Amino acid sequence: AQSVTQLGSHVSVSEGALVLLRCNYSSSVPPYLFWYVQYPNQGLQLLLKYTSAATLVKGINGFEAEFKKSETSFHLTKPSAHMSDAAEYFCAVSPFTGGGNKLTFGTGTQLKVEL
């Protein structure tokens, strides 16, 4: 079964610093990968998705992620953190074939942004 692992359940950065949230996937075939953000008491909002068209994917709010097959990684980055980026971030995987669009989520990373 496909899965994703998010390293670090909590990440703290200073405002203006680089944000790096890690995600590794396990799959023999490169799957479809997604990053979602969840603000308190809200649902999930799609940040970006990888569907094999390009290895560097740009998303909303200045976030981007790079697909690295050799490292089975899909880390999320943002050059300069803003206070409004404080939220929980989820990496998710969807199988390339079969299983439809079922998403399997990582355990999430809580991002804290400090002044």
Partner 1 sequence: EAGVTQSPTHLIKTRGQQATLRCSPISGHTSVYWYQQALGLGLQFLLWYDEGEERNRGNFPPRFSGRQFPNYSSELNVNALELEDSALYLCASSLGQGDHQPQHFGDGTRLSIL
Task: Give contact residues for partner 1 (rule: CB under 8 A).
Answer: 32, 34, 36, 41-46, 49, 51, 90, 94, 99-108
Least CB distance to partner 1 at residue 92 (A): 8
What's the min distance (Å) between Cβ of 54 and partner 1?
15
Nearer to partner 1, 81 or 111 (CB): 111
Two structure tokens written together for 14: 């200073």
Using DSSP bridges, classify how beta strands 10-14 and 109-114 pair: parallel, antiparallel or unpaired: parallel
Are the beta carbons of 96 and 31 closer than 8 angstroms?
Answer: yes
For 63, phi and psi rounded to 5 degrees?
-85, 150
What does 85-96 look like in DSSP terms, one character per residue?
G-EEEEEEEE-S
| Cβ proximity to partner 1, 70 vs 101, nearer residue | 101
Minimum CB distance to partner 1, residue 41 (Å): 7
Q: Which is nearer to partner 1, 62 or 96 (CB)?
A: 96
